[in-house]
Chain A
Amino acid sequence: MIKNNKTRTGKLISIQDSLVKARFYGNVIMGETANVIVDGKSLQAEVLQIAPDPRNSDAGIVEMQVFEDLTGAQIGDQVEFTGKSLSVLLGPGLLTSIWDGLQNPLYKLGEQNAYLVPGMKAPALDEEKLWEFTPSVAVGDKVNGGDAIGTVPEGRLTHSILVPFNFGKCKVESIIEKSEVNITETVAVISDSQNVKHELKLAFRWAVKSPIPFKDRAIPSKTISTGVRVIDLLAPVSYGGTVGNPGPFGAGKTVLQHSLCKYALADIIIMAACGERAGEAVEVFKDFAELEDPSTGDSLMNRMCIFGNTSSMPVAAREASVFIALTVGEYYRYQGYNVVLLADSTSRWAQALRERSGRQGDIPGPEAFPMDIPDQIKGMYQRAGADQGTGGSLTFIGTVSPAGGNFQEPVTQATMDATGGFWGLSQDRADAKKYPAIDPLSYTSSVYDSFISWDDRNKMLQTLYEANGIDQTISTIGLKKVPVEKYVLYQKGLTIDFCVMQQNAFHKLDACTRPERLIVINEAVQKLIDSTINFAQDDKEDEEVKEMVKAKFDELRQWWKDWNLSAQTIDKMAVLPQKVEQFILQEEYTL
């Protein structure tokens, strides 16, 4: 950081879309932010590259991306360097907020204009709101970066006020009594080992590209109940895990993201709406506010914050939006909370990098993406993780929007390499309206533990595999040549698919399945898989037997589907395994 009161400036010498070059004298820092002054408006920019000026050995040329529309910019316009890299304001009030990709609060901007006009700004966090601060350290105490000096209640959470993470050993010089303060007031003064005094407030800025450290990083081990059956049974994710969720358009990524927002059990959900439709983010913050948080019964919005750099907002701010969201997630993880970050979509983030590197004239890699895109993607997912030192975790679920629905493209491939779980959505399943269209048989995997045993999980998958194989046989040589017992196996697979894998995200009861219900379902499924079914074959022809088998299974599936939509109490839930038992024995069902 440069400590110099003199403002360092430059002048624009080149403007192309969001990329500008400026001539400067003196010093410029790689990655620092700058303000470009256009028609009196101050537009935020970030330094990308610094080069010598071929025409003037005293000067240099700095290349920058500007986060807002540059209409009206001219050669010679002033650039003011700030000395600070792109940062996010961390403190109480983050929850329930809705920002653009640079942490400008959208409701506040909306008071100025219905449209997002270049140069508009508003404080990231409410500066007026009073928080009840309770100190937890006393004068003379030693504190380190990341230690709490007190707490404020934020909704139902306790928000610890932390010493910024880059501080070394410090001593508390003064601290206020328990009182109501806003985020601009000083609550404590600490002195570092050089005896330099620092004022601490409820909020501080942190550079988004510097990960907030872990106290004691651990392997993600506790499974998250997402409420989505196919995920929780076959491709689960643990607190602190990473998942890539690719799918062609129309395969149901959005609905799945919304389901996770509503039903995943977590303390905090952060949504980074990165380059996607504005309407989808609006639905979340307008409609979800009326829904209940599954763990507390509060409004669902109380556990959420949203960063919206939607598809028509400036592309340059798209990269920033994901990093800002990640940093906020890390901050709450450090406080000991389980955070789930949904980034929709990481492909738009990668495309923003592609647009920029194209303009900078970099030599393109595969499909014109920057050559180092796999490393950048890995680096991003690595910021997720579980922390056994704080008890918190940051789970990162990123959607991927592969061009042409082709999973071989660079971003999908790099994501598969970077994540512990992978939920591949299939066009065929979506076309058949089999939702969620996660295809457990291809491009779906997970290194995390399921709510059911590995054996049970594998048996379920095996049955689906075999049923799929028989299905293909039927399609190529016809049903006639398939033996009855194979046909029964095929029907078993169909039943698991239809009644368990498929789920109605818009039905009150069916939309969310919790572990206790999964256990009941698993019991029924395992029974169905393990048992030979006593169909009365008499002297019928194979063809007739198959028709009868199909009719019986149709009946079972209809019954099971109704159970999905209606069985709420423990008693009613318990009927499912009994029904399957009786189905296996082919007895008339009377319950």
Chain B
Amino acid sequence: MIRKEINRISEVGKALISVEGNPGVALNHVVELLEAGTNQSLSFAKAINITEDSTRFQVFNGTQGLSTQTKIRMHEVPLTAGFSYNMLGRRFDGIGDVADGGPEIIFDKYVSTRLDTLNPTVRLVPKQPLWTGIPMIDVFNTLVKSQKIPIFAGPTEPYNRLLSQIAQGAQADVIIFAGIGLKFDEYHYFKEQLSQSGNIDKTIMFTHLAGDSQIKGLMLPDVALSVSREFADQGKDVLVLLTDMTNWSNILRNVANYQDQIPSLQGYPGSLYSELAKRYEVAADIEGAGSITIIGATTLESLEDPVPDNTGYITEGQFFLDNGKLKLARSLSRLKQQVNDTTRDDHRPIMTAMASLLADAEKAYEAAEVGAANDTFSQKLLRYREDFIANMEEPFGEPIELEAALDKCWDILKRHFEPTETGLSKKLIEQYWN
């Protein structure tokens, strides 16, 4: 097939180029950029803004080295992602090209990266717990198959370690690792961890390292999620690890800025919410097919930053990591109610009771800082708080089964309180206190 070529780039910016006139490209379709003279392929680009006077493209490999002489070859299709079971165990870049130096892959098929919305009527109501062996998750914020949930953490927290710990025990057929703006050591860490836990053969890594072309990072979730979706459509349970979506949002912000879009909060485009939602909503348990669970990482300085704030409204809860501990107060699994009523009968009540006592204890802790926590009960609360942080909020260590974790909860309560102080019902107290 002979493809139409044009040769009139008029503007080259940071990640974007523009062409004068109307070359006949359709919205979101892909073109290839070729070096004038040699016809060597330099990059692909996507049409994002078309008028009768000019067309603007996002350049996947960045615009360094492009000139007004660079040729544009039309492909007349939107960006697709290659799909094959041979991708398992391999590493790819943000647009699905082989990135591990290994042999090229012959793909079985190419899938659309448009991420069309799944019809809500074919979604199943999620009802299957995913046990992690981490009491803070299993007891207090149970994870559910097809959930979308990020880890919120400061940039220096061990969020990648937690992500990898959750992945290790996860009951999934396929693991899709999608890393945006990764430092090399982070990439290396994940690779090591996945190899050590024997999961590497069921993993596909899509990686974008810090410093790689921005547009490739921007495209990465779409490519990774489209491939995930194909596995799920074929009946597989897929776990997607998405780290770090703050990096991705920052690329989105940069590109919006290059396009002169009117910013809303802190320079992010007004569409930040919709853009994040489009990706996270791919998580689903599909009737008659498989499922996609997304665990992400969102680094933040403050919870009020637009990225974690918008993410919190989109995802089904969040795990909040602070000082290396998984904090109860700010963590939430919105789907836990779907699964934690069929476990042991003390599961829900003890979760509520301990949380409520911990909130009181936090107040006592603040009072103690000004020397006001001098009554007996406040002292109890303070000791409870210390115990809870050390023994419950610690996410790293040997995995613990749910029943053992619940017993551990009772032990902690017994160490510090009288039965009536817990707010737990008489029936449960009689059953579990002694």
Contacts and interface: CB of A to CB of B under 8 A. Distances in A.
The finding on whether chains A and B are genuine partners in a shared complex, rather than unrelated, reads yes
Interface string A13-24: 111110001000
B204 interface: no
A110 B121 contact: yes
Contacts of A506: 337, 341, 348
B61 interface: no
B265 A367 contact: yes
Nearest to A118: B116
B304 A406 contact: yes
Chain A CB count within 10 A is highest, among B119, B122, B423, for B119
Interface string B391-419: 00000000000000000000000000010
Given A114-B119, A367-B264, A555-B420, A311 B273 contact: yes
Contacts of B282: 312
A283 interface: yes
A313 B426 CA distance: 48
Contacts of A107: 121
A110 B29 contact: no
A523 B28 CA distance: 66
Contact of A351 (B270, B309, B312, B314): B270
Contact of A279 (B24, B316, B371): B316
Interface string B290-331: 000000000000011010011011101110000000000110
B264 A74 contact: no
Nearest to B317: A250
Contacts of A110: 119, 121-122
A310 interface: yes
A127 B38 CA distance: 62
B386 to A, nearest CB: 19
A498 interface: yes
A278 B315 CA distance: 11
B116 A14 contact: no
Nearest to B233: A114
A13 B51 contact: yes
Interface string A88-115: 0000000000100000001101100111
Contacts of A368: 262-265, 270
A312 B278 contact: yes
Contacts of B48: 16
Given A249-B312, A310-B120, A558 B426 contact: yes
Contact of A116 (B119, B261, B284): B119
26 contacts: A16-B50, A72-B78, A75-B52, A109-B121, A115-B117, A116-B118, A248-B312, A249-B312, A279-B123, A279-B284, A281-B120, A282-B124, A287-B125, A310-B120, A312-B274, A351-B270, A355-B271, A431-B329, A433-B355, A433-B356, A477-B372, A479-B378, A543-B375, A546-B375, A554-B418, A554-B423
Given A249-B313, A431-B330, A498-B423, A355 B26 contact: no
A358 B268 CA distance: 12
A109 B424 CA distance: 48
A282 to B, nearest CB: 5
Interface in B342-363: 348, 352, 355-356, 359-360, 363
Interface stretch (A397-405, A417-425, A442-450, A570-578): A397-405
Interface string B116-146: 1111111111100000000000000000000
Contacts of B9: none
Nearest to B118: A115
B366 A355 contact: no
Interface string A496-538: 0010000000100000000000000000000000000000000
Contacts of A281: 120
A310 B117 contact: yes
Interface of B: 22, 24-29, 48-52, 78, 114-126, 233, 261-265, 269-271, 273-274, 277-278, 281-282, 284, 286, 289, 303-304, 306, 309-310, 312-314, 316-318, 329-330, 332, 334-335, 337, 341, 348, 352, 355-356, 359-360, 363, 366-367, 370-378, 418, 420-421, 423-426
B420 A115 contact: no
B122 A114 contact: yes
A308 interface: yes
Contacts of A249: 309, 312-313
A408 interface: no
Contacts of B125: 279, 282-283, 286-287
A232 to B, nearest CB: 22
A475 B51 CA distance: 63
A572 to B, nearest CB: 16
B428 to A, nearest CB: 10
A562 interface: yes
A106 B120 contact: yes
Contacts of A433: 352, 355-356, 359
B281 A277 contact: yes
A361 B260 CA distance: 10
A492 interface: no
A476 interface: yes
A372 B337 CA distance: 40
B55 to A, nearest CB: 9
Contacts of A312: 115, 117, 274, 277-278, 281-282
Contacts of B50: 14-16, 73-75
Given A71-B78, A355-B271, A368-B265, A475 B425 contact: no
A478 B367 contact: yes
Nearest to B329: A431
A348 B273 contact: yes
A480 interface: yes
A383 interface: no
B120 A282 contact: yes
A193 to B, nearest CB: 46
B68 to A, nearest CB: 22
Nearest to B335: A279
A277 B341 CA distance: 23
Interface in A18-73: 21, 69-73
Contacts of A189: none
Given A71-B27, A311-B314, A476 B370 contact: yes
Contact of B423 (A114, A547, A561): A561
A358 B265 CA distance: 13
A119 to B, nearest CB: 11
Given A71-B78, A479-B375, A311 B281 contact: yes
B327 to A, nearest CB: 10
